[in-house]
Amino acid sequence: MVALAATARPAVAQQAATETPALQQQLNDWFRRAARAAPGEWGVAVANQNGQLLWGVNPTKPLIPASTVKIFTTGFARTTLGANARQYTRVLGTGYVDPNGTWAGTWALEVNGDPTLERPTRSGPMLHDLAVQLADLGVKRLAGPLIIQSAQGEATARFPDSWSPKHRGRRFAPLIGAVTLNENLISFTIAPGRVGAPPRVVASAPDGIAELVQIKAKTVKGRRDRLRILPQPGGRYLVTGTIGVGRRGRTYGGPTSNPRAVLEAAWAAALRGAGIDWSRGPALSGADGRVTGRQTLAEVVSAPFDSIAHEINTRSLNIGAEALLEWAAGPTADAARRLTEHVRQITGDNLGVTLVDGSGLSSLDRASPLTFVTYLARMPTTPGGRNFALLLPAAGSGTLRKLAGGVPAPGVVHAKTGTLGNASTLVGYLGHKDGMLLISVMYNGPRVYTAKSQQWKLFRTLGAEGTIIPTDSLEAELGGEGLPPN
């Protein structure tokens, strides 16, 4: 059988004798239309639950995978950390609470890149919870500059070298590192005051960043908004211009250029909310017989790894995927190499994959369709892969919301999308009436959204008579016999 390649040159579609004629015809018809609609480089692999290729076009060709890299990152981190691993944020101190409620001694805030800390939904660990724990210890006053540290090394946040500079400043590409809160995004709303008075910050995320906003604007009559909100050095913002008293307000949002400044402002607000006065001058000495060594004064903890990973994949959260990679491999240049080696070890493919980040935001990442379906087959059979499919979003949720509408039904598909300016990918599990299908459909070229529409059509077509993927289905279908050798 011959299918049209995306370049309009003939390419042999690889298929196995076990493929049903109906499935073969569906795939042939789909690809013929897709290749005409979106010229470019296509790579497709459709395999059974054992990873045996049923049908493909350029299945071994490495292409830009975009956010489907998160599938590999999830598997690597889960293998390294375990399904129940958690991230901690702590206040550490050496000293004691004096009779007046003052912490006498040193203290530091330990942050470890928890992507759920102070997240926009306000669900999960919060700095306020840490401050309340300090108050419960009897702390009423805290002195000393904010010292930030991490159990994994230097407590910083950076823009990855592997990401294109054109992404800098975009919401989907915030700074990455141990210093992470509110996904390293900020927002604040400026509302008018009285006529002649400055406007004011009426809401912010995270709480407390109003201290980073300098307002040199004026409230005037009317409803016109002529505010200018200008980022300043040190993660600060300058507001100038005018806003009409009848205006509802203006909201500014985006990635912060200085997560440390945001953390300090949010920490100050958390302490105030817990009734603790913080003097940011020199710390009070606690060097006497009552000091017994550094201790954990307060601690908040994330949800288990699986919960975090599922959210990251469902929302395709780049900062979250990079956090998983650093959590598992450490914040080193070696992390992406270790991720690549993990995928090669699972798949036995040393040529089809090379990764430079954990999120897929880099256009330097490469993976082949066959690498993906082999990984989807083999990862669930490893000690860290139990129910791996369920860590990916189901049809109709998150980035798969366009698969809503009952065809396929939720639970028929667990998959991950990926989109860059020159790439569209869709990779995942599909419960088919003839058995589990593992599908990787990749496109590199200029007609990204047309290609994405065709990818949706493939999953809808194959999932129209699909079956729900139950818990442990992959393990049950393999019957404990494992996979064929490489």
The mean pLDDT value for 278-282 works out to: 86
Whether residue 267 is found in the same domain as residue 328 = no
CATH number of 395's domain? 3.40.710.10
- Of the listed ranges 255-264, 316-325, 330-339, the least confidently predicted one is 330-339
The mean pLDDT value for 310-321 works out to: 97
Task: State the pLDDT at residue 6.
Answer: 34
Final residue before a domain boundary, out of 267, 288, 303: 303
Question: Percent of the chain having pLDDT more than 70?
Answer: 89
- Measured CA to CA in angstroms, residue 440 lies from 317, 428, 453, 482 at distances of 20, 7, 15, 21
- Report pLDDT digits (tens) over 34-58: 999 999 999 999 999 999 999 999 9
Whether residue 143 is found in the same domain as residue 237 = yes
Task: State the pLDDT at residue 285.
Answer: 60
Final residue before a domain boundary, out of 280, 303, 326: 303
Whether residue 289 is found in the same domain as residue 311 = no
User: Given a cut of 80, is residue 309 above it in pLDDT?
Assistant: yes
Whether residue 225 is found in the same domain as residue 361 = no
319 domain residue, yes or no:
yes
At residue 348, φ and ψ (nearest 5 deg) are 75, 15
Complete DSSP assignment for 424-477: EEEEEEEEETTEEEEEEEEEESS-HHHHHHHHHHHHHHHHTT-----TTHHHHH
The mean pLDDT value for 14-23 works out to: 61
User: Given a cut of 80, is residue 449 above it in pLDDT?
Assistant: yes
The helix (run of H) or strand (run of E) holding residue 255 is strand 250-255
Question: How far apart are the C-alpha atoms of 98 and 411, rounded to whole Å?
Answer: 57
Placement of tokens 């040193």 in the chain? 106
Torsion region of 235: left, alpha or beta (phi above 0 gives left; psi -120 to 50 gives alpha): left
CB 134 within 8 A of CB 91: yes
Question: How far apart are the C-alpha atoms of 54 and 42, rounded to whole Å?
Answer: 17
User: Given a cut of 60, is residue 472 above it in pLDDT?
Assistant: no
Task: State the pLDDT at residue 16.
Answer: 46
Whether residue 76 is found in the same domain as residue 91 = no
The mean pLDDT value for 160-180 works out to: 96
The mean pLDDT value for 5-25 works out to: 54
Give me the number of domains the chain comprises. Answer: 2
Task: State the pLDDT at residue 471.
Answer: 55
**Token pair recorded at residue 346:** 């699972």
Whether residue 340 is found in the same domain as residue 415 = yes
User: Given a cut of 80, is residue 481 above it in pLDDT?
Assistant: no
Task: State the pLDDT at residue 468.
Answer: 73
Task: State the pLDDT at residue 124.
Answer: 85
- Report pLDDT digits (tens) over 351-394: 999 999 999 999 999 999 999 999 999 999 999 999 999 999 99
Question: How far apart are the C-alpha atoms of 263 and 47, rounded to whole Å?
Answer: 47
Whether residue 313 is found in the same domain as residue 429 = yes
Residue 387, judged by CB atoms within 10 A of its CB (0-12, 13-18, 19+), counts as: middle
The mean pLDDT value for 229-244 works out to: 97
Task: State the pLDDT at residue 294.
Answer: 82
- Which residues have CB under 8 Å from 241's CB, separation 6+? 217, 218, 226, 227, 228
The mean pLDDT value for 113-126 works out to: 89
67 domain residue, yes or no:
yes
Question: How far apart are the C-alpha atoms of 476 and 374, rounded to whole Å?
Answer: 18
318 domain residue, yes or no:
yes
The mean pLDDT value for 137-148 works out to: 96
Q: Which residue has the higher pLDDT, 28 or 2?
A: 28
Q: Classify 16 as helix, strand or coil.
A: coil
486 domain residue, yes or no:
no
Task: State the pLDDT at residue 465.
Answer: 65
Task: State the pLDDT at residue 479.
Answer: 33
Write out the residue range of the structural domain in which residue 170 sits: 86-303
User: Given a cut of 90, is residue 254 above it in pLDDT?
Assistant: yes
CB 20 within 8 A of CB 11: no
Complete DSSP assignment for 156-218: -EE--TTS-GGGTT-TTS--EES--SGGGEEEEEEE--STTS--EEEEEESTTGGGGEEEEEE
> Over the Cα atoms of the chain, what is R_g?
26
Question: How far apart are the C-alpha atoms of 474 and 255, rounded to whole Å?
Answer: 40
**DSSP category for residue 331:** S
Q: Classify 234 as helix, strand or coil.
A: helix
**DSSP category for residue 284:** P
Final residue before a domain boundary, out of 248, 278, 303: 303
User: Given a cut of 80, is residue 159 above it in pLDDT?
Assistant: yes
Placement of tokens 């599990």 in the chain? 429
CA dihedral 261, 263, 267, 270 (to 10 degrees): 120
Whether residue 472 is found in the same domain as residue 428 = yes
Strand order in the sheet with 295-301: 148-149, 103-110, 88-97, 295-301
- Looking at every residue in the chain, the average pLDDT score rounds to 89
- Report pLDDT digits (tens) over 407-441: 567 678 999 999 999 999 999 999 887 788 999 99
Nearest to 369 by CA among 419, 443, 422, 474: 443
Question: How far apart are the C-alpha atoms of 227 and 240, rounded to whole Å?
Answer: 6
Question: How far apart are the C-alpha atoms of 311 and 421, rounded to whole Å?
Answer: 24
User: Given a cut of 80, is residue 4 above it in pLDDT?
Assistant: no
483 domain residue, yes or no:
no
